[in-house]
Amino acid sequence: MPLTFKDGFYACVPTLLGYIGIGIAAGVVGKSAHLSVLEVTLLAVIVYAGAAQFIIAGLMMVATPISAIIFTVFLVNSRHFLMSMATAPAFRKFSLLNNIGIGSLLTDESFAVAMNAITNKMPVNASWMHGLNLTAYLTWIVSCLLGALIGEWLPDPTQFGLDYALVAMFVGLLYLQLISDKSKSLKNRLLAMLTVVVMLILLMRFVSPEMAILISTLGGCFMGIAMERDT
């Protein structure tokens, strides 16, 4: 029996607390950068990227030129190219419009859920992916809006640790991925992550942090691909 939009919604439910928590934090931080409630909400609608929204708010606080903000956000979000390429083979038989919709709303969390389903040989399809993505997208927008409203009364979000919310989310995603892996796959992933860490430490001495992250991520991906082929 093919998966449905409703199944995609249910698949997204376990990740909603992450979207809500990070979205509220992003809204609060955006408000502390002197963005209006409408501007914070529009960032959620148009940019739809937690890391990018935190970066935009942080750079605006130090009066960074708009060109530098755009370039930095582009570099940080370049990882979406990798995520889209990883999921693309599962949706080749679906229309271009469906693939554009899937790729446009793909996030770190929905990517993790989708790859877990694909790895477990679930019959994923476009309807299921739309249910997953749209549920996350709407939850994110509402959460950022709520965070912006809360931000009216929180002048310094760092006092509450909200600036660490995004890091905490990625730690949680990493943990869930590791405990669900089989031993051989776990070894490969740990080696790929070690590659990223070593490259990041070395590259930070020579290039910008954003470029170091991008190059290190690509290096980790190539290492992961090489290890999977060898096994």
Selection from 53-57, 152-156, 178-182, 213-217 with the highest mean pLDDT: 53-57
Statement: residue 70 has pLDDT above 60? yes
Average pLDDT over residues 36-62: 88
Supply the pLDDT for residue 130: 96
Residue with the larger pLDDT of the pair 153 and 170: 153
pLDDT at 45: 95
Query: Hunting for tokens 């890391």 — which residue is that?
Result: 51
CA neighbor of 113 nearest in space, from 98, 128, 96, 92: 128
pLDDT of residue 180: 54
Closest by CA to 199, choosing from 189, 175, 207, is: 207
* Class of residue 175 by CB neighbours under 10 A (exposed 0-12, middle 13-18, buried 19+): exposed
pLDDT at position 168 is: 62
Q: Are 126 and 96 in contact (CB under 8 A)?
A: no
- Secondary structure (DSSP) of 1-69: ----HHHHHHHHGGGHHHHHHHHHHHHHHHHHTT--HHHHHHHHHHT--HHHHHHHHHHHHTT--HHHH
Q: How many CB atoms within 10 Å of residue 5?
A: 16
pTM score of the predicted model: 0.71
User: Would you tell me how many other CB atoms lie within 10 Å of the CB of residue 12?
Assistant: 21
The predicted pLDDT at position 85 comes to: 86
Q: Percent of the chain having pLDDT more than 90?
A: 31
Question: Given this model, what pLDDT does residue 160 score?
Answer: 62
Comparing 195 with 97, the larger pLDDT belongs to: 97
**Range 91-103 average pLDDT:** 92
Q: Are 148 and 34 in contact (CB under 8 A)?
A: no
Q: How many CA atoms lie within 13 A of 162 on its CB side?
A: 29
* Residue indicated by tokens 């892996």: 181
Concatenate the DSSP letters of all residues of 162-217 into one string.
GGGHHHHHHHHHHHHHHHTS-HHHHHHHHHHHHHHHHHHHHHTTTS-HHHHHHHHH
What is the arithmetic mean of pLDDT over 131-149? 95
**pLDDT above 60: residue 183:** no
- pLDDT value at 230 more than 60: no
